[in-house]
Structure 1
Amino acid sequence: MSNEINKLSIIVPAYNEEKTILSVIGLLEKINLTGGTQKEIILIDDHSKDTTSQLVSDYIQQNPDSPLVFFSQPVNQGKGAAIHKGIELASGNIIVIQDADLELVPEEINLLLARYLEAPNQIVYGSRFLEDKHSKTNFLWHIMGNGFLTRLSNLFSGYRLTDMMTCYKMVPADVLKSLNLKEKRFGFEPEVTMKLSKVKSLNIHEVPITYIARNKEEGKKISWKDGVKVIYCIVRYKIGN
């Protein structure tokens, strides 16, 4: 791991996000990163059935100077698989993940980066529950369900997180690239957390972030079945690789 910080790779997995994708790209491009850090935006379309891919392709043609790297998966594989591809393509030495649905506020990537810059070679998660900065939250899943899964993850990982399932995870690129990540759907979140917990040279921190929850009608994709898979992944990746 290197202490030099030259570029942040922002990985954006997307599936059927035609309503928000251009807004997300625009907001990410406008961010002036803390410390003058350079950025690249890596957008992975997970074989969307809507116009997401076409919108991004048209945007790139119209904005040739954009720091946007675009890859379209040949078949739909899941959020985790899209992130795997983004990690493979990342050229920065720090990586953060940004959802394409505007549940999170892209400008708040700087909150994570400011904490990271205090001591490079650490992990920074953005927590939706450190402070009351969320709206339209489904109490049953996002507070009770997420809280249970996070506590279970903490029990196995030794961390003291408040939001293991958060999208905002900022990690040294060489660490992420070294992990043998397997989960192609929402199992990515517990898998990467459990595997990061085994990298003893890294500390982990959380910063509070804003969260604007979507419902299923608005495009929310996670379900109770994914919650069951999360429990399985926590146990599986504590025991093995």
Structure 2
Amino acid sequence: MDDHSVSLVIPAFNEERTIGSVLDRVFEFLPDVHEVLVVDDASVDRTPEVCHAYTLREERVRLYRHRANKGKTAALRTGLAACSGSIVVVQDADLEYDPREIADLIAPIKEGSADVCLGSRFMVRRAGRVLYFRHFLANKFLTFINNLCTDLNLTDVETGYKASRSEIAKNMIIESSGFGFEVEFVAKCKKIGARIYEVPISYYGRTYEEGKKIGLKDGLDALWYLAKFNILTGVGQSFRPEFLKTKAYPKRFQ
């Protein structure tokens, strides 16, 4: 397998209007993608049917279905466990993030500079839809607390656009629920000394009327997860023992 083979994991819940366009754009802008894993989190619309139809004409698309709605993190857990590429990218199904920027997101990893790369909505590249000042303040607050805990200087800890070496994502013990994966992922990557980069991305956010799902409870949960995964959880609880024994990321152990 190519050392730079890319797996995309797409969690999806009631995204029948956009999931087909997301898949079209992925193959347009990343034609050599190794595989695309769509995890349908018990959608009640036609999301699974749209994805199934796509699998019939593109063998690199695989559809996984949850029988009950378990949340975004659970969908990611399913997809990350199944991916086989050397680099894994999380791509949302709602077109808030532009697939044409996947190449920029994975570039620092392919070049050997980074182990993890996050797309920052506050380092805007092409466009950023202006929405919800309260979300902006909440994100800045959570990012500030995250940076205090991790000694990083991130600009957007809550970004949903991220890429990493697949060995990191596949061996991470993911414990959070809902939208908690964002802060959990950063905290645990920092614990092993992974080299974390940020790149500017465009952001085409949705209103709640258009289908946005994150709410106040998710922000409060994020505060708890910041404390749990940065302070109360050790590296031995964050990754599988066989991964830690390889000392593939030795900075943590020096």
Q: TM-score, normalised by structure 1?
A: 0.91
Query: Could you tell me which of 190, 194, 200 is aligned with 1:197?
Result: 190
1:32 pairs with 2:26: no
How many residue pairs end up in the alignment?
231
Partner amino acid, structure 2, of 1:51: R
Gaps of 5+ in 2: 238-254
Tell me if the contact between 2:27 and 2:33 (Cα under 8 Å) persists in the aligned partners. no
More deviation in 190-199 or 227-236?
190-199
Deviation, structure 1 residue 120: 5.3
* Unpaired segments ≥5 residues, structure 1: none
Structure 2 CA distance for aligned equivalents of residues 203 and 144 of structure 1:
27
**Structure 1 contact 112–207 (Cα < 8 Å) conserved:** yes
Deviation per CA, 1:94-135, whole angstroms, max 9, x where unpaired? 111000000110110111122222225511100000237311
Alpha-carbon deviations, 1:2-24, whole Å to 9, x = none?
A: xx723111100000001101001
Query: Are positions 1:177 and 2:175 aligned together?
Result: no
1:230 equivalent in structure 2: 222
Extract structure 1 runs of 4+ deviating beyond 4 A: none
Q: Identity rate of aligned residues, in percent?
A: 35
Residues 50-73 of structure 1, C-alpha deviations (whole Å, 9 max, x = no match): 110111112222x0x341111111
Q: Give the conservation status (yes or no) of the 8 Å contact 1:14–1:46.
A: yes
Aligned-CA RMSD value: 1.5
2:248 matched residue in structure 1: none
Residues 119 and 201 of structure 2 are in contact (CA less than 8 Å); yes or no, is this contact kept in structure 1? yes
Residue 140 (1) aligns with residue 123 (2):
no
Matches within 5 A, 1:80-159: 80-119=73-112, 122-131=115-124, 133-141=127-135, 143-159=136-152
SS for the counterpart of 1:134 is coil
Partner of 1:42: 37
| Mapped partners of 2:96, 2:7: distance in 1 | 20
Q: Quick one: distance in 1 between partners of 2:66 and 2:122? A: 33
Q: Distance in 1 between matches of 2:149 and 2:123?
A: 21
Equivalent in the alignment of 2:60: 67
Letter in 2 for 1:72: R
